[in-house]
Amino acid sequence: MAGAAGDSLGLYISIPFCRSKCTYCNFASGVYPASEHARYVNRLIDDLSGAGKWAARMGVELPRSVDSIYLGGGTPSLLEPELLERLFAAIRAQCALETDAEITVECAPGQISDATLDAMTRVGVNRVSLGVQSFIDREAQVSGRLHTRAVVLHDLQRLRAAGISNLNIDLIAGLAGQTLASWNESLGVLLDAGAPHASVYILEVDEDSRLGREMLAGGARYHAEAVPTDDAIARMYETAIDTLECAGLAQYEISNFARRGKQSRHNRRYWERRPYLGLGLDASSALRAVQQAGESGPGYLLRSTTSDDLKAYLEGSEPAETAWLSPERQHEEAWFLGLRLNAGVKLAAVRKEFGRQPVAHALEAAQDLAERGLVHVDSRTVRLTPQGQLLSNEVFQEFLGAANEEPEPVVAI
């Protein structure tokens, strides 16, 4: 992992409760009775207090110093104020929260009560990510969102009045009924709203969402027939990059844009391979193995993911999946996570961490991708081109295995 010894920790806490299920949603979230909220927070607090013992048992480092907390979901703003306060009291008791820690809560527009907003400010939340997806009311409505443009703009005012001005707005390119004109309108409203950070996602079509399943089956429910074509979605994404960049929100990652100083500290951890602990439903962790005296190099990395079944989670299941990543697998990750960032992969850094030979193999794959116009390679850095960002999954696939292949044996005749 790139994080140096003595690195701080990022804490991700999944709150899987939603008021309704969006048609495109492929997250482990659902509409559960409010009576489950307290049980769930109790379980989170138990996990938090048991995290040190779990880490010792697994043989991984768990930094006590925490510099970012991210409550995602789900709709964490649905948590009752007293549960939010109990959760943060437990975090502060168990962790050494840095004074300038970034504390983000994902909120659904129209679903932040005054009491919850007060509790958020009391517990130290200083960043809010709003799941807007579209400022066109009809597009939001057919996607299962419960808000209108007016509600979003009102919430932004309320958040600022409460002292939370570090705001992110999520948009999705590819919603049913979206056109390039309506997309431009959403981008314009986003910019007028003045949020310093935007995330632009491309609609994912897979078996995990109702809309995705319908599209894969060729059906018409959930307005599947009105989803724009891949080419139209690609144009929307390219337009977003240009429009946001011109307005001062520079792209720093495939889906993320920010004004200077407003990049998401927590999310950068994932791409920079720094340690994080995930708690709650379907939450991932990445923690470095404790190194023995005299050991050098990247060592092993533990990735674990908790159950995505609420009943199993509440009953106390252990992480559903755990895997130790060898230095070779981490080298692959260094490429496909690092390439997500516009800054790209710094060759000196990966050579220092993994050695010259493995990096030379990865560079062969990079050269091949450069000939296809998907990456840009220079003497210091490899980064995605705009075309490579659109086809990023294809690019990342090339690095699986290639980063560690043994060179062809030289046969002397």
Residue 210 CB, shortest distance to ligand SF4, in Å, is 10
Q: What is the DSSP letter of 100?
A: E
Nearer to ligand SF4, 131 or 280 (CB): 131
Q: Does residue 18 bind ligand SF4 (CB under 6 A)?
A: yes
Nearer to ligand SF4, 145 or 288 (CB): 145
Q: Does residue 182 bind ligand SF4 (CB under 6 A)?
A: no
Kindly state the number of chain residues that form the binding site for ligand SF4, as judged by CB under 6 A.
Answer: 11
For the segment 29-88, give every residue that binds ligand SF4 (CB under 6 A).
29, 73-75
Residue 358 CB, shortest distance to ligand SF4, in Å, is 38
For the segment 107-166, give every residue that binds ligand SF4 (CB under 6 A).
108, 131
Q: What is the DSSP letter of 404?
A: G
Nearest position to ligand SF4, beta carbon = 25
Q: Does residue 224 bind ligand SF4 (CB under 6 A)?
A: no
Q: Does residue 21 bind ligand SF4 (CB under 6 A)?
A: yes
Residue 212 CB, shortest distance to ligand SF4, in Å, is 12
- Of 14-22, 174-182, 237-245, 296-304, the segment contacting ligand SF4 by CB under 6 A is 14-22
Q: Does residue 338 bind ligand SF4 (CB under 6 A)?
A: no
Report d(CA 132, CA 154) in Å as an integer.
13
Nearer to ligand SF4, 1 or 152 (CB): 152
Residue 201 CB, shortest distance to ligand SF4, in Å, is 10
Report d(CA 28, CA 280) in Å as an integer.
11
End-to-end CA distance of the chain: 42
Nearer to ligand SF4, 14 or 251 (CB): 14
Give DSSP secondary structure letters for 144-201: T----HHHHHHHHHHHHHTT--EEEEEEEET-TT--HHHHHHHHHHHHHHT-SEEEEE
Neighbours of 77 (CB within 10 A): 28
Q: What is the DSSP letter of 127?
A: E
Q: Does residue 203 bind ligand SF4 (CB under 6 A)?
A: no
The residue from 12, 27, 70, 183 that contacts ligand SF4 (CB under 6 A) is 27
- Classified as helix, coil or strand, 135 is coil
CA dihedral 219, 222, 228, 234 (to 10 degrees): -110
Burial class (CB in 10 A: 0-12, 13-18, 19+), 161: exposed
Residue 315 CB, shortest distance to ligand SF4, in Å, is 22
Whether residue 74 has a cis bond before it, omega within 30° of 0: yes
Nearest to 17, CA basis, from 87, 70, 71: 71
Residue 196 CB, shortest distance to ligand SF4, in Å, is 22
Residues that bind ligand SF4 (CB under 6 A): 18, 21-22, 25, 27, 29, 73-75, 108, 131
